[in-house]
A = this chain, B = another copy of it.
Amino acid sequence: MRIGIVGGTGKEGTGLGTRWALAGHEVLIGSRDPERARARAAEVGARISGARVSGASNADVVRAADVVVLTVPATGLQATLPELREPCCGKVVISTVVPLTFGGGRLFTPPPQGSAAEEAQEILGAEARVVGAFHHIAAHELEASDHPVDCDLLLCGGDAPAKALVTELGASMGLRAVDVGPLTNAGALEGLTAVLATINRRYKLKNSGIKITGL
């Protein structure tokens, strides 16, 4: 599959891109700055023999992609997404975005829509097939590509075929997918990432994750 990663030069985007390139997908790394995207793509590509990884502007990446992944900071959604509304139309858009505020009173700070995924859905319009997923897969764990990621892939959204595609993308990097319902549950999934971020800080880890038991 041809996977376009918006804001893909950050740690989460680069980690996901690395795992997907290893799985044989074509990875397009997007950035506001196409030069930066190309440099990061070259780095990722150089580490994986036979990898298909390239870089371009966010808009060019979305236009060329079969599936779009948002890995921008939550504060960047309002600036980044409006120009992507038309190219995202009809496409599966995976939001990995988590609205965290470090150093304030409260770590998890969702927008009025309830979650970053619902904010993205609002900006991109109803024809973007938004799925919330991958937030809680630690970037550090993704980049340590010598071993499988020890975490379940929790995902939510209103479009069943879109969720099936995300389930496949997870399976291609060895993750078990767990469907946690509609996009109105995205806030709970994003909040879980705040929990894992706190655990990482408190226990001096970089890669805490979760597994669902009883399943």
Contacts and interface: CB of A to CB of B under 8 A. Distances in A.
Contact of A187 (B138, B141, B191, B199): B191
Contacts of A178: 199
8 contacts: A106-B114, A138-B214, A178-B199, A187-B191, A188-B195, A208-B212, A209-B212, A209-B213
A189 B195 contact: yes
A47 interface: no
A214 B184 CA distance: 28
B214 A209 contact: yes
Chain A interface mostly:
mixed
A139 to B, nearest CB: 13
Copies of the protein in its oligomer: 2
Given A178-B199, A184-B107, A188-B108, A210 B209 contact: no
B202 A179 contact: yes
Q: Which of A196, A201, A214 has the most chain B CB within a 10 Å cutoff? A: A214
A154 interface: yes
Nearest to A138: B214
Interface of A: 105-108, 114, 138, 141, 150-151, 154, 178-181, 184-185, 187-189, 191-192, 194-196, 198-199, 201-203, 205, 207-215
A204 to B, nearest CB: 11
A18 to B, nearest CB: 18
Contact of A181 (B154, B198, B207): B198
Pairs of residues from A and B, 10 with the lowest C-beta to C-beta distance, nearest first: A188-B191, A181-B198, A209-B213, A208-B214, A191-B191, A106-B184, A150-B213, A207-B214, A188-B194, A188-B195
A77 to B, nearest CB: 20
B211 A108 contact: no
A146 to B, nearest CB: 15
Given A105-B184, A107-B184, A192-B192, 19 more contacts: A107-B181, A107-B188, A108-B187, A108-B188, A141-B214, A150-B213, A181-B201, A185-B198, A188-B194, A191-B191, A196-B212, A199-B212, A203-B215, A205-B214, A205-B215, A208-B215, A209-B213, A210-B212, A210-B213
